[in-house]
Amino acid sequence: MDLLRLLFWNCRRAGNNKFKRNIVEIIKTYKPEILVLMETKVAYSQMSNFFNRLAFTASSIVDPVGRVGSIWIIWDTSQVNVRTSTINSQVIHATVHKKDFEEWVLAAVYASPNPTLRAHLWKDLEDMAGDMEKPWLVAGDFNDYSSQHERRAFSRSQHNGRAQKFLDHVNNCNLIDLGSSGPRMTWTNNRQGLANTMERLDRAMCNAKWKTMFPEATVKVHPRTYSDHSPLVVFTQEKNIYEY
C-alpha cells in the first residue's frame, strides 16, 4: 500500500498571512493528502481559492458560528476520495478511499470546551462505535487529557475525575491511542512562568480493524508555531516518518 498522510490542526485562525505561511511549510514538509483544520474563525469560502492553488480542491465543511468552532476536511482529489456521511459542530464522519486501500472511516473531531456539549459528542461516538464494522480513525482536538501525565502545570487540576471520564469514553468506543513522536504536550495557554499550563489535548485513536489495516501507523507532533496547538500528522506507515 502507498503511504497516506493526514494533517490535523487546531489552527486558531486561518484567514491571515501568518497562517498561510505556516500551512504551506507544513504541507511542504509532510505532503499530506488530507487536511483537517479546526477553529478557523473564518468561513471556508474566504480560503477556498488559497487551498485550490495548493491542489486541495475538495472539502467538507462545518464553518464557525461567529468566530466559534469549525471543522474543515480538505483533500487532494488526485490522491484520495473522501465521502462525508454525518456532520455536526463537533465531528465530521467520512469514508476515505485511496487506490489499493480498503475503505475506512474517519472521524475528524473538534470537541467543545463545554463539558456538557462534549458529553453529547461522546454519546454520538459511543453509539457509532457499537455499529462500526469498518476500520475507524478518530482524531483531532478532544479538549481533554487521559491522565495527569498529559498535563504539565504548577497547580494541580481541580477536575480530578476528568481524566478518568475521558478514558471511560475511549474504552466505551473500543479505541486504541496511536501515541506520538515529537512534543508530548500539544497545547499551551501561552502564559509565562507559574501560570503556564500545557496539556495533550490532540491525538489520534483507532479501532482494532484500523490498527490491523495499518499496523505500522504513527503520529508525528509538529512543534507549535502559529497556533497554541501543535499540528498532528498521521502516517499509515511507520518507516516514512523518519524521512521528515
Q: pLDDT for 43-76, tens place per residue?
A: 999 999 999 999 999 999 999 988 889 999 999 9
* 179 pLDDT tier (thresholds 50, 70, 90): very high
Asked whether 118 and 191 are in contact (CB, 8 A), the reply is no
Which residues is 65 bridged to in the sheet? 68
Give the pLDDT score at 156: 65
Residue 147 has pLDDT above 50, yes or no: yes
**Domain at 108, CATH number:** 3.60.10.10
Q: Is the pLDDT of residue 181 over 70?
A: yes
> 136-141 and 104-110: which strand pairing?
parallel
Higher per-residue confidence, 189 vs 181:
181
Element spanning 42, H or E: none
Residues 6+ apart with CB under 8 A from 72: 14, 35, 36, 37, 38, 40, 44, 59, 60, 61, 62
List beta partners, residue 74: 35, 59
User: Edge-to-edge strands of the sheet including 71-75?
Assistant: 58-62, 71-75, 34-38, 5-10, 232-235, 218-221
Residue type, 20: K
Percent of the chain's residues with pLDDT above 70: 94
Backbone φ, ψ for residue 161 (5° rounding): -90, -5
Q: pLDDT band for position 160 (50/70/90)?
A: low
Kindly indicate the confidence band of residue 190, based on its pLDDT and cuts at 50, 70 and 90.
confident
Percent of the chain scoring above 90 in pLDDT: 82
Query: Strand (E) positions, 25-135?
Result: 34-38, 58-62, 71-75, 81-87, 91-97, 104-110
The whole domain housing 42 covers 5-243
Q: How many domains does the chain have?
A: 1
Enclosing H/E stretch for 22 = helix 17-30
Q: Is there a contact between 34 and 6 (Cβ–Cβ < 8 Å)?
A: yes
Instruction: Report which of residues 145 and 157 the model is more confident about.
Output: 145
Q: What is the pLDDT of residues 91-133, one digit of tens each?
A: 999 999 998 788 999 999 999 999 999 999 999 999 999 999 9
Least confident of 32-36, 68-72, 150-154: 150-154
Q: What is the pLDDT of residue 159?
A: 60
In sequence order, the 6+-apart residues with CB closer than 8 A to the CB of 186 are 199, 200, 201, 202, 203, 221, 229, 230, 232
Q: What is the mean pLDDT of residues 185-199?
A: 87
The per-residue pLDDT for 242 is 45
Mean pLDDT of the chain: 93
